Amino acid sequence: MTANIVAPLQARHAEIIAGIHGECFDRPWSGPEMARMLCAPAISGFGAGDDAYPDGFILGQFSGEEGEILTIAVRPRVRQRGIGRALIAALIESAREKGVRSLFLEVASDNVAALHLYETSFFVRKGLRKAYYSRGPGQVDAHILERILT
Ligand SMILES: CC(C)(COP(=O)(O)OP(=O)(O)OC[C@H]1O[C@@H](n2cnc3c(N)ncnc32)[C@H](O)[C@@H]1OP(=O)(O)O)[C@@H](O)C(=O)NCCC(=O)NCCS
């Protein structure tokens, strides 16, 4: 991977993407969890930027004609430079190649950046899970979004 290029992830990226996840979410996924996912045949992952020190990554899971974005994360210091959009484009392309026709995801209703990214990437709201995520002492809803792949 070179700067702003997106490339498939391999098992050796498990620890580094766990580190990115930890920079971006309150409940980080561990290196071993990432390694398990990167080895799973149904899971596709892409990283952006330097191979040894990626700026961000995305993981998706495909099953037949349906797929799901499991997570996407871009390091805070390099956000709003198009990396998130490039990662989604790579995952969508991979999903299409594998025969996926419908891609789903869940996003917290207060996640303005992610909602903007998804909705301008042609994901549409299909449902709502009430009080789905913990946020401090409270909860926030999750929107279920879908993108039909043509
Ligand atoms: C969501 C996330 C992946 C976006 O990554 P990114 O590299 O900053 O995204 P991009 O630069 O490709 O931006 C895509 C669009 O979102 C917009 N955007 C990004 N951050 C934004 C913000 N904080 N507020 C409003 N819009 C924002 C960009 O302006 C761009 O829109 P435009 O093309 O219309 O200008 C990143 O913010 C992140 O890692 N957040 C923490 C983890 C997370 O919430 N993941 C999603 C879980 S569902």
Q: What is the pLDDT of residues 10-65, one digit of tens each?
A: 999 999 999 999 999 999 999 999 999 999 999 999 999 999 999 999 999 999 99
Q: Which of 3-17, 45-59, 91-105, 134-148 has the lowest mean pLDDT?
A: 3-17
Helices and strands of the chain, counted as H and E runs: 4, 7
For position 4, what pLDDT does the model report?
A: 62
- Mean pLDDT (the chain) is 95
Nearest in space to 27 (alpha carbons), one of 140, 116, 135 = 135
Q: Distance between CA 8 and CA 18 in Å, rounded? A: 16
Torsion of CA 20, 21, 23, 29, to 10 degrees: -130
Pocket probe mutation, ligand 1, options 24, 69, 74, max atoms within 8 Å of Cβ? 74
Q: How far is the CA of 108 from the centre of ligand 1 (A)?
A: 13
CATH code reported for the domain at 6-148: 3.40.630.30
